[in-house]
Structure 1
Amino acid sequence: MYGKYAAAVVYQCNGNVRIFYLSPQALTSTSEGWLFKWTNYIKGYQRRWFVLSNGLLSYYRTQAEMGHTCRGTINLATANIAVEDSCNFVISNGGAQTYHLKASSEVERQRWITALELAKAKAVHMQAESAGQAGSGRNAEIQSTLRTLNSKVEDLTTCNDLIVKHGSALQRSLSELEGIRVGGDMGEKIRQVTERATLFRITSNAMINACRDFLSLAQNHSKRWQKALQTERDQRIRLEETLEQLAKQHNHLERAFRGATVLPPSFSNPALGSKGASGKGDASDEDDDNEFFDAMEDPAEFITVPADPKYHSPFCLFLFPLWCLEPVRKRRTRIPDKPNYYLNLWSIMKNCIGKELSKIPMPVNFNEPLSMLQRLSEDLEYYELLDKAAKCQSSLEQMCYVAAFTVSSYSTTVHRTGKPFNPLLGETFELDRLRECGYRSLCEQVSHHPPAAAHHAFSEKGWTLRQEITLASKFRGKYLSIMPLGSIQCIFDKSSNHYSWKKVTTTVHNIIVGKLWIDQSGEIDVVNHKTGDRCHLKFAPYSYFSRDIPRKVTGVVTDKDGKAHYVLSGTWDEKMEFSRVMQSSKGENGTEGKQRTVYQTLKAKGVWTKNPLPEGAENMYFFSSLALTLNEPEEGVAPTDSRRRPDQRLMEDGRWDEANAEKQRLEEKQRTARREREREAVKAASSPEEGAHQDNYQAQWFEKIDDPVSGETLHVYKGGYWEAKDQGSWDMCPDIF
């Protein structure tokens, strides 16, 4: 019925643009008809035109839309089909796509279910067949390897059978030997035992040799398989990036086309009249308020008709040529190796005991080629956790993802003993990953004494992260304590849930003697100010005498009444998982005399796992894949961006002597600018108070407010940066480099 299977690619972006390619040979038949699809609690079920073709279920507002705007597509090969009641059923692919559908009658629903199940079975079969054909070239080598491995496994099985056989015979001989009396047949029995023991030993040696050969062969081919798997992953990532750019460009072009051109009558919606041609140009099914269907308007029909190629031709999806699409930028994967420069640490640090390190000039030898603003932006390495949190329906489950995100920000510090550059006042850093990851981030150094950095990030996936961090550090002789002050806030657009938390203390050990190592210790309370939910996280300090795993983190998610719902556990340098609490009870007293609470939980679910470090990271300051890209030169950024900082650039290039000289120049320039601001502030003040702080510096992109939700005073983004970047106008930026 469906003919030869054609490969299809389905992509969905925030603008609800779905692009799929189907070869004409695959479009041999289709099933179409009206169904009611659940949109939201305001509009309820809305009538939509559904098309089932070649294992793909797509829907449109009307039949006329089939030629230009597909509202959604779900691949049945990976979908689950469930029946809810007489007329309702649900189709879900286990991810973000879930269609709640309703037919006009039970008969119509059963017709759809039958057609969907049949299409799913065919899609699964054809997909497996197509995958087998696509990989036939490479499968030949894999099959050959598998045959060799199977041969070794058979050798192991044969040796195992012989061992069992000879072992049983040896056991019988030993039993007989124990039962006989001393006599003439003693020598014969002993000879039999000796022969069987020899056979057993020979067979065991063969078994060991076969195992050795098997392991050697598996180890050799394991490296090749890992390399092949990595190649497949890289190809998939490139394909996803290309599709993302294709989808965004198509969405932009479609909106521009709608704004400048009136669609012909054959593509307009008669139910909308003139509103259909002059709408907002948004392809979203749920966000358009210009249309409403009565729940019982015209009974739905199930029709089977031949597919019209003009509605499914891949060429109808593009109004402009593909060459106008900009390729995704390929980020760098290496930086120059760290030079092996020796410097006596104690000769410098002995004069710093008990002092605030931010006020002491330090050579770049102790640094890594990143500024504190860039290190702050590294908190977004696991932004996917916030993407997943934005999709959660339950605020308590959302809290688990937010808590895991707070822990993940420490995973980049486990080997990072280098000190980041102290940002100059007015220095900025942008991390624009809108095209690749859906978010944009901006940091600015808003204060110098005390040093404070403001950070703002927003995502198209529906979340905003903002933080203001002030670092206080003290050198205690044997170790260095770094205490981050200030709060971090995360707001989700859909639910308006507003979270806030603070960072824990970082300790650098073995300052004088031994190898430097870092520990995180303290407690974090993540608070949802809207619902009252709370997650209490505890970072256990390292102890030589403790039996717990090092870098352990535990947490409990409670509601506003203090009832526990989730338990989190893991380590801040490796992974986190959470379990749903079914029952809690008071247990025995702990070591401190406090009564412990025992939680009965369901099976733990992994929520976060650290990404592996890139190859050669030990020679590149132990930077992660994201950190390697942060100081990469980029056109169009502000003149105050950390990438343009000369001493940091010289250090990355390995020219440390020049970097130290440049660092002193920049610091002196900053001090001169501050003295000038203080003189101007004194002149402007009518009656300056003695001893008052006279620096009148104002941040460029952030403003200080009292947050009414969290009660915190912090700098928040006031806008204008990305608009200035689009216009290429940076006249307002100070000259700090």
Structure 2
Amino acid sequence: MSASFWCQVLHVKCFTKPMLLSSVFDVVCCSCHVNLKVLNFYLPFKVPQICIFILGGVMSEPKTPTPTPAGDTYKGWVFKWTNYIKGYQRRWFVLSNGLLSYYRTQAEMGHTCRGTINLATATITVDDACNFVISNGGAQTYHLKASCEVERQRWITALELAKAKAACMQAESDDSGDDFSPSSPPAAPGQGGGSQNSEVQSALRTLGSKVEDLSTCNDLISKHGSALQRSLSELDSLRLTGEAGDKIRQVTERATLFRITSNAMINACRDFLALAQAHSKRWQKALQAEREQRVRLEETLEQLAKQHNHLERAFRGAAQVNASKNVINCFSSDEDDDNEFFDAMEEAPEFITVPADPQFHKSVSCLLSHANDFGSCTIYKRRTRIPDKPNYSLNLWSIMKNCIGKELSKIPMPVNFNEPISMLQRLSEDLEYHELLDKAAKCQSSLEQMCYVAAFSVSSYSTTVHRTGKPFNPLLGETYELDRQRESGYRSLCEQVSHHPPAAAHHAISDRGWTLRQEITVASKFRGKYLSIMPLGTIHASFEKSNNHYTWKKVTTTVHNIIVGKLWIDQSGEIDVVNHTTGDRCHLKFAPYSYFSRDIARKVTGVVMDKDGKAHYVLSGTWDEKMEFSRVMQSSRGGENGTEGKQKTVYQTLKARELWRRNPLPEGAETMYYFTALALTLNEPEEGVAPTDSRRRPDQRLMEDGRWDEANSEKQRLEEKQRSARREREREAASQRTSSQSEEAALHDNYQALWFDRCVDQITGEQVHIYKGGYWEEKECGSWEGCPDIF
């Protein structure tokens, strides 16, 4: 029986020593439990531990699960060294976007990560055939063991490729200059070309990624080819005779030819890479110039289309005015019989001058100028990227251990825990899905309108699913405006109206028929393992056409794994959306996450009822993805529910329809604090905003630019300036104290908001701040004399 009888060996990890077998018996592999039938045969080599043998026509194959690749993600079971008591433990590893994370089970992937290593700065070493080590500068080291060598080699290859990609991306982000910016603004809405531009950018990124893969594969081929040649040289030095020696020499010759061919391919690929890298920036510059020229042409065409449309409307309006002789004053000029001029009606929004004769080429230039005054508008191009979040290390426990049980707003926190927007800007993010209010304003039925309002109340939480950073606490008197009247028809203003307790007033109005206002006070407690954030205050939405007025409150937000593990956010509680005009009501329930629950995570359910308690719609979905509504045809009481003996209500509904779906995150959001497309524009500098606007806050701007040390120093300066201003107000109040006033009342902070008046809400009876007007008029005039100096 010759060695060629063992026809296929996939792995090379072996028993510790050769074995002399003199009879027929079964050898069970100690790792994969494969039965190896052995005849009288002396094995001069080590028996493979994991293998596939074909012996006597019978094939035994190991049932070892292998990792599952999916695009850039690689997943699978790997044994991880834990300690000397438990040894190696089976863990589920996920390789994605240059990060290697592990979990105890696959079910934990959605909520609890046990650890993560960034491969961009990690080293990967192989201990033996199945063991390998991943280390990140000593701070994190994973001792891992695959079930076989092939599986280990698959992981090593995937890790090497991921490491090369991560290092390349990090280098690109560090070296990105003025040659080419992927954050170039997209085409404005309505111009088209945005999707084509994104496709071109995506193609460029894919080609770049494939080129980097090719470079990495070249290195791996060269490395493994050299190792193969050395191994074959060592076999050749054994000086085996007979059939085995001939086979080894034959394999050596073929390996030599393979290496020659591989070297030729490597040299060709190296030349290709050099050319690609040399011409890449020039191609990108040319593409950027072409794209900008196309955008300019599209803008010109849009302006011409708007002018043409305005001319048509003006001409039709003039014809209608001419037909209504009883309300039109007509006069003609004796000097020019070709033109007639008409005064518009008193109710008309603008004065229109048009010729009566269709042949009006003499006045085309005047009309074009007039149309340009009314029909054109400035199109703003918002930014689509911010600087990537730096990787600053911080000892979290050293800061948080003394904060247990304290109010979060009273804890001096470094900017390392923040995201580069303020709480006022975060509050303005509630308008991310303002289209729901636009649709609600068009509804004829108040019950259907309630469905859209309820979906809007849920949609505001979708922006928080990955947002574990804390927004900046606004300074007293700080404001933030969000003017999207040209693009989306609404304008929003926020002001910090109180510091202790911190309270922000918000007012938004849309020319599409709705108004939104709220005053939110955030109470928060750090509980050691998690952080609870309880927003206090009522949100009001009113609609001009139907005169319906809705109110609701926010639910509790919980940030888990504050000290150990990966941070994750959950929303829990109940919301009652009430229509105070008709008495309709929608009861929404946010189910808290439970490891033992069979329901989907982040589930939200609700029922829309009229004033008599009759159900008309059922709402269902998740607060991070989508909401649907179904019309109720019939309802009935079902069986008992749980131990309390309550009966479930069974609703017979029509097919569900989608109310709302979350917009996808921008590409690269994981390096930009998981901001949405709207959030990326919130802190973008704008001309003409108030001196107290959050965009002008220096510590927040420094943090966004990645200068965190300077941001921390600036943050301390601003907080001390705010404390000094508060002490000054208290001294003035004390000096004006009369004999009838108590000392406590005199020392009370007498701060008054600039744009909001404090009064009693007529709907809820709460003490609230309501917008008193004047901000947008002051902005138009460019006069900000009344604004305090807070920065």
TM-score by length of 2: 0.57
Confirm whether residue 279 of structure 1 aligns to residue 345 of structure 2. Answer: yes
CA distance in 2, matches of 1:544, 1:571: 17
- Residue in structure 2 matching 1:597, options 622, 646, 649: 649
Match of 2:744 among 683, 691, 695: 691
Amino acid at match of 2:688: G
Q: Using the alignment, how far apart are the partners of 2:436 and 2:304 within structure 1?
A: 22
Q: What is residue 270 of structure 1 aligned with on the other side?
A: 325
Amino acid at match of 2:671: N
Matched residue SS, 2:733: helix
Which of residues 477, 499, 503 in structure 2 aligns to 1:426?
Answer: 477
- For residue 705 of structure 1, report the CA deviation from its aligned partner: 1.6
* Secondary structure, counterpart of 1:403 in structure 2: helix
Counterpart CA distance in 2 for 1:406 and 1:571 is 12
Matched, 1:327 2:378: yes
Deviation at 1:694, TM superposition (A): 1.8
Counterparts in 2 of 1:269 and 1:584: CA distance versus 1, 3 Å? same
- The question of whether the paired residues in 2 share the 8 Å contact of 1:263 and 1:277 is answered with no
Q: Which amino acid is the alignment partner of residue 705 of structure 1?
A: C
Cα distance in structure 1, aligned partners of 2:589 and 2:299: 38
| 8 A contact 2:310–2:371 mirrored in 1 | no
- In the alignment, what sits opposite 2:760? 706
For the 8 Å contact 1:345–1:512, the answer to whether it is kept is yes
Structure 1 residue 712: deviation in Å? 3.0
Q: In structure 2, do the counterparts of structure 1 residues 520 and 263 end up closer, same or farther at CA, with 3 Å as the change threshold? A: closer
Could you say what secondary structure the match of 1:407 adopts?
helix
Q: Which residue of 2 aligns with 1:720?
A: 774
| CA 250–722 in structure 1, closer or farther in 2 if over 3 Å, else same | farther
1:504 counterpart letter in structure 2: V
What code does the residue aligned with 2:516 have?
L
Contact 2:734 2:743 in 1 (8 A): no
The question of whether the paired residues in 2 share the 8 Å contact of 1:529 and 1:710 is answered with: no
Query: Do 1:254 and 1:319's aligned partners in 2 also have CA atoms closer than 8 Å?
Result: no
Matches within 5 A, 1:146-185: none
Measured after TM superposition, the shift of residue 394 of structure 1 is 0.5
Output one character per residue of 1:214-267: Cα deviation in whole Å (capped at 9) or x when no partner: xxxxxxxxxxxxxxxxx99xx999979986997699879999x99xxx979994
Matches within 5 A, 1:443-592: 443-592=494-643
Counterpart of 2:388 in 1: which secondary structure?
Answer: coil
Identical pairs, percent: 73
| Alignment check: 8 A CA contact 2:521 2:536 kept | yes
- Determine the C-alpha separation between the residues in 2 that align with 1:244 and 1:523: 49
| Secondary structure in structure 1 of the residue aligned to 2:429 | helix
Contact 1:527 1:534 in 2 (8 A): yes
SS of 2:370's partner is: coil
SS in structure 2 of the partner of residue 369 of structure 1: strand
Q: What amino acid maps onto 2:480 in structure 1? A: F
- Given that residues 322 and 328 in structure 2 are in contact (C-alpha distance below 8 angstroms), is that contact kept between their aligned partners in structure 1? no
The amino acid that maps onto 1:640 is T
Seen in structure 2, the aligned counterparts of structure 1 residues 510 and 582 have a Cα distance that, compared at 3 Å, is same
SS of residue matched to 1:696: coil
- Find out whether 1:625 has 2:680 as its counterpart: no
Q: Summarize the Cα distance change of 1:621–1:722 in structure 2 as closer, same or farther, 3 Å threshold.
A: same
Are the aligned partners of 1:242 and 1:327 in contact in 2 as well (CA < 8 Å)?
Answer: no
| Counterparts of 1:429 and 1:491, CA distance in 2 | 22
Q: Residue 274 of structure 1 aligns to which amino acid in structure 2?
A: N
1:690 positional shift: 3.5
Return closer, same or farther for 1:314/1:241 CA change in 2, 3 Å cut-off. Answer: same
Superposed CA offset, 1:659-701 (max 9, x none): 0000000000000000000110111121331333521100000
Contact 2:328 2:344 in 1 (8 A): no
Deviation at 1:437, TM superposition (A): 0.4
Which amino acid is the alignment partner of residue 720 of structure 2?
E
Q: Distance in 1 between matches of 2:487 and 2:456?
A: 20
The secondary structure found in structure 2 opposite 1:470 is: strand
Distance 1:238 1:388, change over 3 A: farther
Which letter does structure 2 place at the counterpart of 1:320?
H
Partner of 2:257: none
**SS across alignment from 1:567:** strand
**Deviation string, structure 1 residues 378-422 (Cα, Å, up to 9, x no partner):** 000100000000000000000000000000000000000000000
Residues 424 and 445, structure 1, Cα contact 8 Å, conserved in 2: yes
CA 1:249–1:366 in structure 2 vs 1: closer, same or farther (change >3 Å)?
A: farther
Residues 1:557 and 1:504: Cα distance change in structure 2 (over 3 Å): same
Aligned 8 A contact 2:586 2:609 in 1: yes
CA–CA separation in structure 1 for the residues paired with 2:551 and 2:297: 36
Q: Structure 1: how far apart are the matches of 2:587 and 2:304?
A: 40
1:659 aligns to 2:711 (yes or no): yes
| Contact 2:307/2:368 (8 A) holds in 1 | no
Aligned partners of 2:701 and 2:748: how far apart in 1? 33
* Matched-pair contact (CA < 8 Å) for 1:576–1:607: yes
Q: Deviations over 1:490-512 (max 9, x none)?
A: 01011110000000000000011
Report the Cα distance in structure 1 between the residues aligned to 2:320 and 2:587, rounded to whole angstroms.
60
CA distance in 2 between partners of 1:280 and 1:401 (Å): 37
- Unaligned ranges ≥5, structure 2: 1-191, 197-289, 331-341, 351-356
State the superposition RMSD in angstroms: 3.5
Find the aligned partners of 2:654 and 2:455 in 1 and give their Cα distance. Answer: 18
Give the direction of change, closer, same or farther, for the CA distance of 1:309–1:385 in structure 2 (3 Å limit).
farther
* Paired residue type of 2:565: G
Structure 1 residues 379 and 247, CA, compared in 2 at 3 Å: closer, same or farther?
farther
Aligned partner of residue 663 in structure 1, secondary structure: helix
Whole-angstrom CA distance in 2 between matches of 1:498 and 1:248: 39
Residue aligning to 2:400: 349
User: How many angstroms apart in 1 are the aligned matches of 2:485 and 2:696?
Assistant: 21
Cα distance, 1:561–1:651 mapped onto 2, change above 3 Å: same
Q: What residue in structure 2 maps to residue 390 of structure 1?
A: 441
How far apart are 1:515 and its partner, in Å? 0.1
Q: 1-side partners of 2:408 and 2:609: how far apart?
A: 38
The CA distance in 2 between the partners of 1:328 and 1:393, in whole Å, is: 33
> What count of residue pairs does the alignment treat as equivalent?
481
SS at match of 1:691: helix
Q: 1:265 to 1:736 in 2, by over 3 A?
A: closer
**Could you say if the C-alpha distance between residues 707 and 657 of structure 1 is closer, same or farther in structure 2, counting changes exceeding 3 Å?**
same
Shift of 1:576: 0.3
Match of 2:723 in 1: 671
In structure 1, C-alpha distance between the alignment counterparts of 2:468 and 2:311, rounded to whole Å: 45
Query: Using a 3 Å threshold, how does the CA distance of structure 1 residues 562 and 515 change in structure 2: closer, same or farther?
Result: same
In structure 1, give the amino acid aligned to 2:687.
Answer: E
* Equivalent position amino acid for 1:571 in 2: T
The separation in 2 between residues aligned to 1:542 and 1:560, in whole angstroms, is: 32
SS of equivalent to 2:392: coil
Task: Check whether the contact 1:433–1:439 (CA below 8 A) recurs between aligned residues.
Answer: yes
Q: Using the alignment, how far apart are the partners of 1:507 and 1:251 within structure 2?
A: 52
8 Å CA contact 1:525, 1:534 repeated in 2: yes
Task: Assess if the C-alpha contact under 8 Å between 1:250 and 1:318 holds in 2.
Answer: no
**CA offsets 1:173-216 (integer angstroms, 9 cap, x no match):** xxxxxxxxxxxxxxxxxxxxxxxxxxxxxxxxxxxxxxxxxxxx
1:184 aligns to what?
Answer: none
Question: Does structure 2 conserve the Cα–Cα contact (< 8 Å) formed by 1:241 and 1:328?
Answer: no
In the alignment, is the contact (CA less than 8 A) between 2:450 and 2:586 conserved in 1? yes
- State the shift of 1:710 in Å: 3.1
Secondary structure (helix, strand or coil) at the match of 1:351 reads: coil
Of 417, 427, 430 in structure 2, the residue corresponding to residue 366 of structure 1 is 417
**Aligned-residue offset at 1:571:** 0.3
Q: Distance in 2 between matches of 1:518 and 1:637?
A: 33
